[in-house]
C-alpha cells in the first residue's frame, strides 16, 4: 500500500507545479495587459489634449476671421480698399511706362553700340588699306596663282561638261531607240490581241452553230422516234387485220369447197332445213365480215381523209417513202454532228495550243519589257546623276566667272588703249558681263595687265620713269 501512496503524491506535486506555472504565466500576462492599458490610456489622454488644443486654436482663428470679415465689410474699410486699389493701378501703369522707356533706351544703346563697332571696323579697314610695295607684290602673286587655279578649274570643268554632253547625247539616242522598240512592241501586242479576239469570235460562232445543229439533231431524233413508234403501231394493226382477213378468206374458201362437195340436193327435209340455216348463217357471217371490212376501210378513209382506196394505198406508200427519207436525213444529221464534234475538238486543241503559245510570247515580251524598263530606269538615274554633276559644275563655273568679273572690275579703271578697243568690240563696256563665251578675252586682258604690272615692278629704278608712259597706271580703289 505504500507504493500507491507515493505515486499519488508525485502526481499531486506535478499537478501543483503545473498549476503554479500556469498561474504565474497568467499573472505575467495580466501585468503586461495592465501596463498596455495604462500606456494606451496615457497616449489617449495626450492625444485628446492635443486635439482639444487644436480645437481651441481653430475656434480662436474662426473668431478672428469672423472679426476680420466684419471689419472688412465696414464702409471705412471698403473706402480704404478702394483707395489702395486705385493706387495699385496707378503704380502698375507707371511701371509699364517705365519698362517701355527702359526697352527703348536699351534699343538705342544697342544701335549706338552697332554704329560704334561699324565706325571702328571702318577705321581698322582704312588703317589696313595702306599697302607698301612688298604687300602689293605679294597680293599680285596671290592673284596670279588664283587666276591660274581658276583657269585650271575652268578647263577641267569644261572637259567634264563636254564628256557629260557626249554621254547625255548617247543616252538620248539609246532612249529614242528604246521608245521606238516599245512602240513596235505595242503594235505587235495590239495585233496579237486583235487576232486573239478574232479567234474567240470564230470559236463563239462555231459553238453557236454546233449548239443549233445539236438542237436540230435532238428535234429530228424525237420526230424519228415518234414516226417509228407510230409505224410500229400501224404495222402491228395492219398485220392483225391482214391475219383476220386471211383467216376469214381461208374459212370462206373451205366453206365453199365443202359446199361444192356437198352441193347436191337431198330429199330429206331436215337436211334441207339445216342446209338452209347453214347457208343463212354463212351469209350472215359473210355480211358481218364485209361490214367489218367496210368499217375498217371507213376508219382508214377517215384517218387518211381520203375516200379512194388507191389513193389511200398511194398515200401509205408515199408516207413510208417520206419516213425513209427522214430516216436518211436524220442519219446524215448525226454524221454531220459527229463531224462538227470532231472539228470542235480539233479547234479546242488548236485554241489551247495557241493560248499556250500566246502566253509564252506574252511572258517573253513581259521579260523583255521589264529588262528594258530596268535599263531605262538605270539610264534615267545616270542622267539625273550627270545632271546634278552638271549643275554643280555650272555653279562652280558661275562662281569662277563671278570672281573673274570682280577681278576685271577691280582692274577696269586702268585700261590701256588696246584693252578699250577689245571691250568696244564686245559692246557697251558698262554693261559687259563675263560669260563662258568671252571669258578667254577677259582672261587675256587680265593676264596682259598683270604682266605689265610685273614688268613695272621688276624694272630698274632708272628705267621706271622712261617706261612710265608706256605702262598702265594701275591704282587700287579705296575700300569702303
DSSP-derived secondary structure for 104-132: HHHHHHHHHHHHHHHHHHHHHHHHHH---
Tens of pLDDT along 199-255?
A: 888 888 888 887 887 788 788 788 888 777 887 887 888 778 888 888 888 888 887
Q: Report the pLDDT averaged over residues 465-480.
A: 40
Q: Report the pLDDT averaged over residues 169-191.
A: 83
Residue 250 lies in a domain: no
CA 446/CA 423 separation, integer angstroms? 12
Where residue 129 falls among pLDDT bands split at 50, 70, 90? Answer: low
Residue 134 lies in a domain: no
Residue 128 lies in a domain: no
In the predicted model, is pLDDT for residue 428 greater than 50?
A: no
Q: Report the pLDDT averaged over residues 161-167.
A: 83
CA 280/CA 154 separation, integer angstroms? 152
Tens of pLDDT along 277-298?
A: 888 888 888 888 888 878 877 7
Domain end, chosen from 38, 56, 73, is at 73
Mean pLDDT of the chain: 76
32 HSE (CA, 13 A, CB side)? 6
Sign for the CA dihedral angle at 203, 209, 212, 213 comes to: negative
Residue 34 lies in a domain: yes
Tens of pLDDT along 65-90?
A: 888 777 767 677 777 777 777 888 88
Residue 394 lies in a domain: yes
pTM over 0.75: no
Q: Report the pLDDT averaged over residues 82-110.
A: 81
Q: Report the pLDDT averaged over residues 350-363.
A: 83
Q: What percent of the chain clears pLDDT 90, i.e. is strictly above it?
A: 0
Nearest to 365 by CA among 202, 193, 215: 193
168 and 383 Cβ atoms separated by less than 8 Å: yes
Tens of pLDDT along 166-176?
A: 888 888 888 88
Backbone angles phi, psi at 430, to 5 degrees: -80, -20
Domain end, chosen from 48, 73, 98, is at 73
Residue 190 lies in a domain: no
Provide the residue range defining the domain that includes 334.
306-414
How far does the chain reach from its first CA to its final CA, in angstroms? 145
Counting the structural domains of the chain, the total is 2
Residue 145 lies in a domain: no
Tens of pLDDT along 366-404?
A: 888 888 878 888 888 888 888 888 888 888 888 887 887
**pLDDT score, position 464:** 43
**pLDDT score, position 80:** 76
Cell of 346: 480539233
Domain end, chosen from 73, 106, 137, is at 73
- Point out the least confidently predicted range of 68-72, 167-171, 266-270, 461-465: 461-465
Where residue 422 falls among pLDDT bands split at 50, 70, 90? Answer: low
Residue 103 lies in a domain: no
Nearest to 442 by CA among 458, 460, 464, 419: 419
CA 224/CA 216 separation, integer angstroms? 12
- 90 against 426, higher pLDDT: 90
- Point out the least confidently predicted range of 84-88, 309-313, 465-469: 465-469
- 304 against 180, higher pLDDT: 180
Q: Report the pLDDT averaged over residues 421-428.
A: 52
Amino acid at each position: 500500500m505504500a507504493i500507491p501512496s507515493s505515486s499519488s503524491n508525485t502526481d499531486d506535486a506535478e499537478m501543483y507545479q503545473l498549476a503554479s506555472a500556469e498561474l504565474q504565466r497568467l499573472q505575467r500576462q495580466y501585468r503586461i495587459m495592465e501596463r498596455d492599458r495604462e500606456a494606451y490610456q496615457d497616449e489617449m489622454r495626450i492625444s485628446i489634449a492635443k486635439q482639444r488644443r487644436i480645437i481651441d486654436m481653430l475656434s480662436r482663428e474662426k473668431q478672428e476671421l469672423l472679426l476680420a470679415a466684419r471689419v472688412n465689410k465696414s464702409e471705412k474699410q471698403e473706402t480704404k480698399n478702394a483707395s489702395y486699389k486705385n493706387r495699385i493701378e496707378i503704380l502698375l501703369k507707371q511701371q509699364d511706362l517705365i519698362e517701355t522707356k527702359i526697352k527703348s533706351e536699351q534699343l538705342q544703346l544697342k544701335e549706338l553700340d552697332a554704329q560704334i563697332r561699324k565706325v571702328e571696323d571702318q577705321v581698322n579697314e582704312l588703317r589696313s588699306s595702306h599697302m607698301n610695295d612688298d604687300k602689293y607684290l605679294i597680293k599680285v602673286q596671290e592673284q596670279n596663282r588664283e587666276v591660274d587655279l581658276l583657269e585650271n578649274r575652268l578647263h577641267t570643268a569644261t572637259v567634264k561638261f563636254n564628256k557629260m554632253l557626249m554621254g547625255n547625247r548617247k543616252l538620248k539616242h539609246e532612249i529614242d531607240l528604246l521608245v521606238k522598240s516599245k512602240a513596235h512592241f505595242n503594235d505587235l501586242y495590239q495585233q496579237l490581241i486583235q487576232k486573239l479576239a478574232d479567234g474567240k469570235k470564230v470559236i463563239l460562232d462555231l459553238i453557236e452553230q454546233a449548239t443549233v445543229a445539236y438542237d436540230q439533231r435532238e428535234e429530228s431524233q424525237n420526230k424519228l422516234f415518234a414516226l417509228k413508234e407510230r409505224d410500229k403501231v400501224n404495222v402491228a394493226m395492219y398485220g392483225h387485220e391482214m391475219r383476220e382477213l386471211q383467216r376469214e378468206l381461208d374459212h370462206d374458201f373451205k366453206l365453199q369447197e365443202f359446199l361444192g362437195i356437198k352441193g347436191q340436193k337431198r330429199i330429206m327435209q331436215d337436211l334441207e332445213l339445216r342446209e338452209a340455216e347453214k347457208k343463212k348463217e354463212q351469209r350472215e357471217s359473210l355480211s358481218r365480215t364485209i361490214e367489218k371490212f367496210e368499217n375498217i376501210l371507213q376508219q382508214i378513209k377517215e384517218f387518211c381523209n381520203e375516200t379512194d382506196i388507191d389513193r389511200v394505198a398511194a398515200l401509205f406508200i408515199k408516207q413510208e417513202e417520206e419516213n425513209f427519207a427522214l430516216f436518211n436525213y436524220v442519219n446524215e444529221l448525226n454524221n454531220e454532228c459527229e463531224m462538227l464534234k470532231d472539228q470542235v475538238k480539233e479547234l479546242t486543241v488548236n485554241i489551247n495550243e495557241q493560248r499556250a503559245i500566246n502566253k509564252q510570247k506574252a511572258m517573253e515580251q513581259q521579260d523583255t519589257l521589264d529588262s528594258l524598263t530596268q535599263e531605262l530606269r538605270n539610264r534615267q538615274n545616270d542622267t539625273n546623276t550627270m545632271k546634278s554633276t552638271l549643275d554643280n559644275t555650272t555653279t562652280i563655273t558661275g562662281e569662277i566667272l563671278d570672281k573673274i568679273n570682280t577681278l576685271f572690275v577691280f582692274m577696269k579703271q586702268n585700261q590701256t588703249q588696246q584693252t578699250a578697243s577689245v571691250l568696244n568690240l564686245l559692246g557697251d563696256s558698262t554693261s559687259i558681263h563675263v560669260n563662258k563665251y568671252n571669258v578667254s578675252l577677259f582672261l587675256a586682258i587680265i593676264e596682259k595687265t598683270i604682266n605689265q604690272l610685273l614688268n613695272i615692278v621688276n624694272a630698274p629704278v632708272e628705267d621706271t620713269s622712261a617706261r612710265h608712259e608706256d605702262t598702265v597706271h594701275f591704282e587700287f580703289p579705296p575700300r569702303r
